[in-house]
Amino acid sequence: MIELLIMLIKTTVVFAIVLTHVAYTTYAERKLIGRAQARMGPMEVGPHGLLQPIADFIKIFFKEDIVPINAERFIFQIAPLIVLIFTMINLTVIPFSSNFILADLNVGLLFILASASVSVYGIILAGWSSNSKYSFLGGLRSASQVLSYEIALGLSLAGVVLAAGSLNLRDIVIAQHNTALGIYAIPQIIGFVVFVIAAFAETNRAPFDLPEAETELVAGYLTEYSAFRYALFFLAEYVAMYIMAFLCALCFLGGWTIPKFITDILPFLDKVPGIIWFAIKVYAFIFLYIWVRATLPRYRFDQLLNIGWKVLIPAGLVNLIIIAFLKRLSL
Amino acid sequence: MIYLIFAYFCLSMIGITVMALTRKNPVHAVMWLLLLFLHVAVVYLFLNAEFLAMVQVIVYAGAILVMFLFTIFFLGAKELTKEKRYTQVWEGRLLIGLAMTATGIVTFSVASPSYRGKYTIEYIEKVGNVKSVGEMLFNEYSLAFLMLGVILLVPMVAVGLIARRPR
């Protein structure tokens, strides 16, 4: 019983921390994009607009929840929940530091891939149930995009699994720490690049945010949504960004550890708690997300699929073969 | 407690299958099918086969069912429901009944509660689930595995040929 209570408290803490991060990621995004475009970003609410996410939350919470009259009512209402639940569930298998993990699954990596592949249903169903052309096209685009890039994502992670010899995220980090370089991003540079690009496409973020391309589809699958259900989609997108950042930090950048050759030169860095290294890596990845959004224009849809199938998948396969040879030679 | 959960999953799987078969709207049927696949994954978890459970979700729910959904969307979901359904004609009912009986007979005659080869519970617990599945697949069933790859390659080539536009 007491174990269950501890588990519950831990889960609440993780969810609260991640949700706060999500709220302030939207703030950081607006500020950074504002700076990139020579604007100030939000400035009105609180000092330097610091309370803006809270104001946004209150506003969106009190808006009217509109369901279009020709929409498939039930599916329309549960679609955002599907997306959010299957995104949030990933937080349970993420090891935040060497001993803080909610559920130490031995197929943790597959669990993340599995729930990512289920959460796409929410987007397709949102598009379909809205009974609107824009939403429907957005949903279809999202489905084909996520399906195509999931293969590339899986292939780039297969290299990591092969090198680490485990599907457990904690074991992957430990195996990584025991290598000479300390991070997989260097020997698996191809896999790393493939992963980063595929992660952008998986989360429907710029420059691959075609499912919600404003210039073509109004807001894609989000067109008919309003108020809280819209906020749930938004929340899910940002949590998915964080999941991808976690995954990148764990599988390619060494998770909560730093390479041994650095601690050999600067031994005092060993005293820094692992969660800080992890946070730095995750923030760097989130910054990359925002930076790319502020910099790169959107791709065309056929270009997107061409990149996925003709560049990333072959590159992922090459990476897998290289890693297999490396692993074989070092044995 | 664990038996109760197991009983829930087994019973609801039957219920969900019936719901999936009888839905008029194909999209709803696919949704029930998705629920069914998730339940099947949980039953794999009961068998301590967590790798299979995850693969079930990734492959069936994540890839194949999305393809179904795609096909339904492209064919137009609303137009398919006009005709008489196969469950309403007696030939259809007979065929389904026969097929289900045959599947049942074959399953119960083949199923054995014992283990084959060295794959006992202790062995799997020692080396891990994923590794033992991999070992078995790539050592004992390597020929079947390769053949499956070739079989899957054939439709891929065919689709490529059909989709190729002459220049």
pTM over 0.90: no
| Nearest CA-CA partner of A319 in A185, A145, A148 | A185
> What proportion of chain B, given as a percentage, has pLDDT over 70?
86
Q: Is residue B151 very low, low, confident or very high in pLDDT (cuts 50, 70, 90)?
A: very high
Q: Which residues of B touch A125 (CB under 8 A)?
A: 27, 31
Separation in Å, CA of A117 to nearest CA in chain B: 5
pLDDT of residue B112 exceeding 60, the answer is: yes
H helices then E strands: how many in chain B?
A: 8, 0
pLDDT tens-place string over residues A106-131: 788 888 888 888 888 888 888 888 87
pLDDT of residue B88 exceeding 80, the answer is: no
* Burial of A64 from C-beta contacts in 10 A (0-12 / 13-18 / 19+): exposed
Separation in Å, CA of A166 to nearest CA in chain B: 9
pLDDT of residue B81 exceeding 60, the answer is: no
Q: For residues A82 and A78, what is the distance between their CA atoms, to the nearest angstrom?
A: 6
Q: For residues A167 and A256, what is the distance between their CA atoms, to the nearest angstrom?
A: 17
For chain A, give the mean pLDDT.
83
**Tokens matching residue A114:** 């599995």
DSSP A57-114: HHHHHTS-----TTS-HHHHHHHHHHHHHHHHGGGGG---BTTB-S---TTHHHHHHH
Q: How far is CA A222 from CA A53, A181, A244, A298, in A?
A: 20, 44, 22, 18
Q: For residues A247 and A182, what is the distance between their CA atoms, to the nearest angstrom?
A: 16
Show the DSSP H helices in B23-141 as ranges.
Answer: 26-46, 50-55, 65-75, 90-110, 121-127, 129-135
The answer to whether the Cβ–Cβ distance between B54 and A75 falls below 8 Å is no
pLDDT of residue B166 exceeding 60, the answer is: yes
The answer to whether the Cβ–Cβ distance between B38 and A118 falls below 8 Å is yes
CB of B38 less than 8 A from some CB of A: yes
CB of A143 less than 8 A from some CB of B: yes
Q: Which residues of B touch A136 (CB under 8 A)?
A: 73
pLDDT tens-place string over residues B32-69: 888 888 888 888 888 777 888 888 888 888 888 888 88
pLDDT tens-place string over residues A162-205: 888 888 888 888 888 888 777 887 788 888 888 988 888 888 77
| Mean pLDDT, rounded, for A135-153 | 83
Q: How far is CA B58 from the centre of its chain?
A: 11
Q: For residues A33 and A28, what is the distance between their CA atoms, to the nearest angstrom?
A: 8
Q: For residues B67 and B76, what is the distance between their CA atoms, to the nearest angstrom?
A: 14
Q: Which residue of A has its CA nearest to B34?
A: A118
The answer to whether the Cβ–Cβ distance between A118 and B62 falls below 8 Å is yes
pLDDT of residue B86 exceeding 70, the answer is: no
Q: How far is CA A71 from the centre of its chain?
A: 29
CB of B58 less than 8 A from some CB of A: yes
| Mean pLDDT, rounded, for A45-55 | 83
3-state secondary structure A182-222: CCCCCCCHHHHHHHHHHHHHHCCCCCCCHHHCHHHHCCHHH
| Mean pLDDT, rounded, for A256-262 | 78
For chain A, strand residue ranges (E) read none
**Tokens matching residue A160:** 């990591």
pLDDT of residue B163 exceeding 60, the answer is: yes
| Nearest CA-CA partner of A251 in A169, A177, A186, A151 | A169
**Tokens matching residue B95:** 């065929």
pLDDT tens-place string over residues A287-302: 988 888 888 888 888 8
Q: Is residue B113 very low, low, confident or very high in pLDDT (cuts 50, 70, 90)?
A: low
